């Protein structure tokens, strides 16, 4: 019988996801969710000449919430000893899917200080990430370049973010916002090196929407995570709602 190989090398676009999971695999995640009435925000969002995406709204809301909830700016560092690092401004990482080399790949980039930016400017940044060629975006090029390195070198690079909170906030962020969550499904489990992950949407025909927050259990308990999620939605329904109507 002719020998046939049963395995193949891991493609680049799955290598960096595996590295992310490896980096976030030590965290124990607690998740909370709630259903909210998003009809007014959805109407205001769509009334604009160019509707603001829910991802942009999520970034802005998480950044604003981090002003009064510093946990959203906090990272648990394991080396050289366990400690907490609080970043001076928000650091939000956005994950988005792009066509690259004939396949769909998930890339990510980080925005710092989004609490100081209007939601429209954040949305323009996200549209730029979606439309520019992958090779023209520095964070995407860096992700591809690191994925090409040998496994042990990649592991060493990812481990280095556990030593410096500033480096971790710059390249990984403390809050992750995903634009690739399935539109009709609920996320039930994640593994991420970010301290928090926020999911908003989609809006149902009756105007309701499920909002979710996953948190590093070493930083907050379930009740605290629930209060943070409520604070994020309160900002969406008041401050960001006012931005959408005023512009």
pLDDT number for residue 79: 84
* Relative orientation angle of helices 138-147 and 12-24, to the nearest 10 degrees: 90
User: pLDDT per residue over 106-136, tens digit each?
Assistant: 999 999 999 999 999 999 999 999 999 999 9
Instruction: Please report which confidence band the pLDDT of residue 19 belongs to, taking 50, 70 and 90 as the band edges.
Output: confident
The residue with greater pLDDT, 38 or 17, is 38
If you average pLDDT over every residue of the chain, what do you get? 90
Enter the pTM of the model.
Answer: 0.91
What is the mean pLDDT of the segment spanning 16-23?
83
**DSSP 3-state helix, strand, coil percentages of the chain (rounded to 5)?**
45, 25, 30
pLDDT for 9: 83
Would you give the distance in Å from CA 14 to the centre of its chain? 18
pLDDT of the residue at 124: 97
pLDDT over threshold 80, residue 219: yes
* pLDDT for 10: 86
More confident residue, 61 or 29: 61
CATH 3.30.559.10, domain 12-246, yes or no: yes
The side-by-side arrangement of strands in the sheet containing 196-203 is: 29-37, 208-216, 196-203, 175-178, 91-100, 103-112
- Give me the pLDDT at residue 230, please: 97
Q: Which helix (H) or strand (E) holds 2?
A: none
Q: How far apart are CA 168 and CA 85, in angstroms?
A: 10
pLDDT per residue over 31-89, tens digit each? 999 999 999 999 999 999 899 999 999 999 999 999 999 999 999 998 889 999 999 99
Where along the chain do its domains lie?
A: 12-246
Phi, psi of 107 (to 5 degrees): -110, 170
**Lowest-confidence range among 22-26, 197-201, 202-206?**
22-26
Query: Is the confidence at residue 234, as pLDDT, over 70?
Result: yes
Report d(CA 204, CA 121) in Å as an integer: 27
């Amino acid at each position: 019988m002719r020998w046939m190989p049963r395995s193949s090398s891991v493609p680049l676009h799955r290598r960096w996801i595996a590295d992310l999971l490896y980096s976030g695999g030590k965290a124990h995640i607690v998740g909370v969710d709630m259903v909210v009435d998003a009809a007014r925000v959805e109407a205001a969002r769509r009334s604009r000449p160019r509707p603001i995406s829910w991802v942009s709204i999520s970034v802005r809301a998480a950044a604003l919430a981090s002003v009064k909830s510093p946990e959203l700016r906090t990272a648990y560092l394991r080396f050289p000893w366990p400690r907490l690092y609080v970043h001076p401004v928000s650091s939000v990482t956005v994950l988005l899917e792009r066509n690259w080399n004939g396949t769909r790949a998930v890339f990510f980039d980080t925005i710092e200080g989004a609490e100081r930016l209007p939601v429209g400017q954040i949305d323009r940044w996200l549209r730029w990430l979606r439309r520019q060629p992958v090779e023209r975006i520095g964070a995407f090029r860096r992700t591809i370049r690191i994925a090409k390195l040998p496994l042990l070198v990649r592991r060493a690079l990812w481990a280095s973010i556990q030593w410096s909170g500033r480096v971790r906030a710059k390249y990984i962020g403390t809050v992750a916002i995903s634009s690739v969550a399935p539109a009709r499904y609920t996320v039930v489990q994640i593994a991420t090196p970010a301290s928090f992950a926020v999911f908003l949407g989609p809006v149902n025909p009756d105007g309701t929407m499920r909002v979710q927050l996953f948190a590093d259990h070493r930083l907050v308990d379930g009740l605290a995570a629930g209060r943070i999620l409520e604070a994020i939605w309160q900002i969406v329904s008041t401050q960001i709602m006012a931005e959408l109507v005023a512009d």
